[in-house]
Structure 1
Amino acid sequence: MKKALITGLTGQDGSYLAELLLEQGYQVFGLVRRSSSGNADRISHLSGTVEILSGDLLDQCSLMDAVSYAQPDEIYNLASQSYVPLSWTQPALTAEYTALGVSRLLESIRRCKSDARFYQASSSEVFGQPDESPQTERTAFRPRNPYGVAKAYAHWMTINYRQQYGLYSCCGVTYTHESPRRGTEFVFRKITRGAALIKMGLAKELKLGNLDAKRDWCYAKDAVRAMWMMLQQEQPDDYIIASGETHSVRELVQTAFDCVGLNWEEYVSVDPNFYRPDEAVQLVGSIDKIRRQLNWEPQYPFKQLVELMVDHDLKELSEAQ
């Protein structure tokens, strides 16, 4: 039986990855930072099937203890401060978790389980304002926010440990990926949730930023499947994980409101306060390499993903009443 350790278990990706690994017959350990308020809603259904270990990316000793105890074959680092706007108000904390936390984890692997295979969750934010589109694994990094800067550091440290120490370490450059487990502060879920709230008479309007902004969106379940596939290869390598296509916020809004039979123009207003400073930048990933070498591609197209999330939000709100 293979053993895997997941950091960020309580997050969207961590919970889906745990499900996938359990289906594959793994023994799964999850590293969870202890806090006074619980944050286990996404993994409550996994109780008794995943062994929870206490640890924190800020604490080297706790990481070494976790790796030494679990002796995992595979380690997936999905933990970070991942909300871009927050990285501007808390840049130092973002660096500690998202950048230096990866150094601590890599060093723990090197010292305690050097034959473990390591996956680092990189991000399209490392490209920032790219000089080519679509972006490939060779596109230069030009991050434009503290989160992207921290992810760039973590990305290169992962590669350096692979080159310097021979660790099996990979980076998956994930573009925006969504699911019903996504936080409502992120625009995709904000929109699907907003459409459901308005349909049920629980809200009257939805305020958004730039409707012409475009994103490369895919389903979180597709993304975690790619993460797992990366660690099953003979040699470690880095891959872009994306849908390979872009859709505008306007298109997302229209699709979501079509799902509930409403005209979005009657309910949606634009608020400049929600504009991002780099809104003109459009990121789209080329999935040629991962499709060619791993035979991976998204299984959920854009419209199906929107419908899935709107249906979930409608059901959740109905059950809450």
Structure 2
Amino acid sequence: MSRRALITGVTGQDGSYLAEYLLGLGYQVWGMIRGQANPRKSRISRLMADLSFVYGDLMDQGSLVSVVDTVQPDEVYNLGAISFVPMSWQQAELTTEVNGMGVLRMLEAIRIVCGLDKSRVSGGQIRFYQASSSEMFGKVAETPQHETTLFHPRSPYGVAKTYGHFITRNYRESFGMYGVSGILFNHESPRRGPEFVTRKITLAAANIKLGRQEKLYLGNLDAVRDWGFAGDYVRAMHLMLQQDQPTDYVIGTGRTHTVEQVARIAFEAVGLHWRDHVTIDPGLVRPAEVETLCADPSRAHAELGWAPTVTFEHLIQMMVESDLRQSEQEQRHADLALVASW
């Protein structure tokens, strides 16, 4: 019988890549969604025929118990979250409810269902993956950051993720649940939301090249991040749940780049110089900046056999090429609509 996986946040960047990957491995994949009018369903449109869906909400305990009981998953991947860090200052309470308490509610749902289902208790456990974040390191105590580096989050997002990380560990130690956290560093793709700085840059480079945008406004160009490809990182999520013992892992490339480098590569990909098109906006600088995040993924390399396959340069170029195709298609549709209106 095929293994069953439940993914929260299935219409997000990571959820779409993970669903695609697990389907390729022969899994039955269930995606949890909050409602039918999900604007991000386009990310999984080509997978719709192969996916099953169930309705639930990370802010509603009862719905999560129902979801887990209905799906009876072998693996749960909790990717649902408010993922845009700047938004967490504007909606700190909501971010805490979803990114922090939402983890507790899903863990409770698994514990309740396994307690009711005696075959689960005596047989196979439901294995739980929590999407932790490098933002938990915040004001970093050391560089690079590894699994035992102290956390010092610098945003409501980072604080909520830290709670989710520790409550997963607590349920593992208190109830013997198979729960792991992947401390993932920044990972991008053409499916990244346009509000994130990498996609904001690649989309702007494409639009400026096509004459659809004049300027790109950015905040701190010196911020340093460890950027990788989301498609690589979902493989690590799956590998974590295949180990004999539940263990947390740092996932990243171990290489750092600045926001300025993202801009340079993106604009070079369309034959432009970034300095001619980028304007600094102090209003876009975070209230408490996280300056340098760099992963030490040596444990994942050694124990999971995981390594990234896409370089930083290729990643940014891939995103620009995708955004060029999208922008050109949108322009053609706009032109056709204009002609039809004459």
Q: Same fold (TM over 0.5)?
A: yes
Alignment of 1:149-298 (within 5 A): 149-279=159-289, 281-298=291-308
Query: In 1, Cα distance between the equivalents of 2:275 and 2:85?
Result: 28
Letter in structure 2 aligned against 1:135: Q
Residue 39 to residue 308, structure 1, CA distance change in 2 (3 Å): closer
* SS of residue in 2 equivalent to 1:94: helix
The structural deviation recorded for 1:281 is 2.2
Which residue does 1:45 correspond to in 2? 46
Deviates more, 1:184-193 or 1:275-284: 275-284
Which residue does 2:340 correspond to in 1? none
Residue 37 to residue 174, structure 1, CA distance change in 2 (3 Å): closer
Which residue does 1:134 correspond to in 2? 144
Letter in structure 1 aligned against 2:10: L
Does residue 5 of structure 1 match 2:6? yes
Deviates more, 1:163-172 or 1:41-50: 41-50
TM-score when normalising by structure 1: 0.98
1:40-91 alpha-carbon deviations (Å, 9 max, x no partner): 1111111121111000001111111111111111000000111111111111
Which residue does 2:318 correspond to in 1? 308
Which residue does 1:320 correspond to in 2? 330
1:276-296 alpha-carbon deviations (Å, 9 max, x no partner): 233362111101110111111
Query: In 2, Cα distance between the equivalents of 1:316 and 1:89?
Result: 30
Checking the alignment, whether the CA contact within 8 Å between 2:138 and 2:290 is kept in structure 1 is no
Query: In 2, Cα distance between the equivalents of 1:55 and 1:252?
Result: 37
Match of 1:119 among 114, 117, 129: 129
The structural deviation recorded for 1:243 is 1.4
Which runs of 5 or more residues in structure 2 are unaligned? 115-119, 332-342
The structural deviation recorded for 1:38 is 4.1
1:183-222 alpha-carbon deviations (Å, 9 max, x no partner): 1110000000010001111111111111111111111001
1:120-144 alpha-carbon deviations (Å, 9 max, x no partner): 0000111110110001100011111
* SS of residue in 1 equivalent to 2:58: coil
Letter in structure 1 aligned against 2:148: R
The structural deviation recorded for 1:263 is 1.3
Checking the alignment, whether the CA contact within 8 Å between 2:138 and 2:158 is kept in structure 1 is yes
Note the aligned Cα RMSD (angstroms).
1.1
Identity across the alignment (%): 51
Which residue does 1:105 correspond to in 2? 106
* SS of residue in 2 equivalent to 1:171: strand
* SS of residue in 2 equivalent to 1:84: coil
Query: In 1, Cα distance between the equivalents of 2:206 and 2:99?
Result: 33
Which runs of 5 or more residues in structure 1 are unaligned? none
The structural deviation recorded for 1:37 is 5.5
Does residue 92 of structure 1 match 2:80? no
Which residue does 2:28 correspond to in 1? 27
Structure with greater Cα Rg: 2
1:228-249 alpha-carbon deviations (Å, 9 max, x no partner): 1111111110001111111011
Which residue does 2:55 correspond to in 1? 54
TM-score when normalising by structure 2: 0.92
